[in-house]
Amino acid sequence: MTTMAATAHRSTPSAEPRLGLRERKKIKTRTAIRKATYRLVQEQGYDATTIEQIAEAAEVSPSTVFRYFPTKEDIVVTDEYDPILEEELRARPAGEPLPTSLRHVIRHAVERSMSGEFETREEMALRGRLMVEVPAVRSRMIESMSVTGRMMCRAVAERTGRDPDDLEVRAYCMGVVGALLEASRYWAEHGQQGDVGEYAERALDVLEYGLTRRNSEAP
- pLDDT (tens digit per residue) in 143-189: 888 888 998 999 999 888 999 999 999 999 999 999 988 998 898 88
Tell me if 26 is assigned to some domain: no
Q: Is 13 helix (H, G, I), strand (E, B) or coil?
A: coil
**Contact yes or no for 148/154 (Cβ under 8 A):** no
**Contact yes or no for 30/119 (Cβ under 8 A):** no
User: Which region holds residue 177: left if phi is over 0, alpha if psi is between -120 and 50, else beta?
Assistant: alpha
Supply the pTM of this predicted model.
0.71
Tell me if 4 is assigned to some domain: no
Q: What is the mean pLDDT of residues 3-17?
A: 34
What pLDDT is stored for residue 7 in this prediction?
28
E strands, 7-67, in order: none
Tell me if 215 is assigned to some domain: no
Tell me if 20 is assigned to some domain: no
Tell me if 59 is assigned to some domain: no
What pLDDT is stored for residue 128 in this prediction?
84
Tell me if 55 is assigned to some domain: no
Give how many domains the chain has, as a whole number: 1
How many other CB atoms are there within 10 angstroms of residue 123's CB atom? 19
**Contact yes or no for 197/183 (Cβ under 8 A):** no
What pLDDT is stored for residue 87 in this prediction?
82
Tell me if 37 is assigned to some domain: no
Tell me if 16 is assigned to some domain: no
What pLDDT is stored for residue 16 in this prediction?
47
Range of the domain at 154: 71-209
Which is higher by pLDDT, 17 or 137?
137
User: Closest Cα to residue 189, out of 115, 153, 138, 139?
Assistant: 138
What pLDDT is stored for residue 172 in this prediction?
94
